[in-house]
């Protein structure tokens, strides 16, 4: 075998020294470069996997939050509809109350107007009565040819009663 190495131009001592040097360099590279590089790649892979897991968890949480948001919005819409219907009902009650108050005031005004009209009518009747008395007094005075102040009051009242009955 040493002939073979010699024919190939290889010296087995140098070859062994180079193999030993190669193994030393390989060992040094393995501990100084290869192992840190493998650790770095492993850590990077773990970070990427953790990122994927976190992303999935974030997506799940986002979906849950979206569902909660939709539920809250739905609840808020229902509540706003309830509030609006409540306000409408209160407004209707208030309108009915105002209508009732208005009708009461209308009745009061009509009653007051009726009393005023009756009072005015009574005043008018009284005025007509006074004017009738005056006219009757003057008529009787002319008919009797006496002083109007001397015409007896009872005679005038009787004439007014007779006129009142004839109406």
Give the mean pLDDT of 135-147: 70
- Higher-pLDDT residue of 154, 21: 21
- Higher-pLDDT residue of 152, 162: 162
Exposed e or buried b per residue across 83-114, where buried means at least 16 C-beta atoms within 10 angstroms of its C-beta: eeeeeeeeeeeeeeeeeeeeeeeeeeeeeeee
**Angle subtended by helix axes 35-144 and 153-166, to nearest 10:** 120
Closest of 156, 162, 154, 165 to residue 131, by C-alpha: 156
Give the mean pLDDT of 98-116: 94
140 close to 151: Cβ distance less than 8 angstroms = yes
How sure is the predictor about 1, in pLDDT bands with cuts at 50, 70 and 90?
low
Range of the domain at 64: 2-166
Q: For the chain, how many structural domains are there in total?
A: 1
DSSP string covering 24-41:
HHHHHHIIIIIHHHHHHH
Number of H helices, E strands in the chain: 4, 0
pLDDT of residue 148 exceeding 60: no
The pLDDT tens digits of the residues spanning 62-84 come to 999 999 999 999 999 999 999 99
160 close to 139: Cβ distance less than 8 angstroms = no
| pTM reported for the whole predicted model | 0.41
């Amino acid at each position: 075998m040493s002939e073979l190495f010699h024919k190939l131009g290889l010296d087995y001592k140098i070859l062994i020294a180079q193999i030993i040097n190669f193994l030393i360099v390989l060992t040094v590279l393995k501990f100084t470069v290869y192992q840190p590089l493998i650790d770095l790649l492993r850590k990077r892979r773990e970070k990427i996997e953790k990122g994927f897991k976190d992303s999935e968890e974030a997506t799940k949480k986002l979906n849950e939050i979206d569902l909660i948001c939709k539920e809250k919005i739905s609840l808020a819409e229902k509540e706003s509809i309830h509030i609006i219907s409540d306000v409408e009902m209160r407004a209707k009650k208030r309108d009915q109350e105002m209508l009732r108050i208005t009708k009461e005031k209308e009745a009061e005004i009509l009653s007051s107007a009726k009393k005023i009209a009756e009072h005015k009518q009574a005043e008018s009747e009284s005025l007509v009565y006074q004017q009738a008395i005056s006219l009757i007094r003057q008529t009787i005075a002319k008919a009797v040819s006496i002083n109007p102040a001397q015409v007896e009051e009872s005679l005038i009242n009787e004439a007014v009663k007779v006129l009142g009955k004839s109406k």
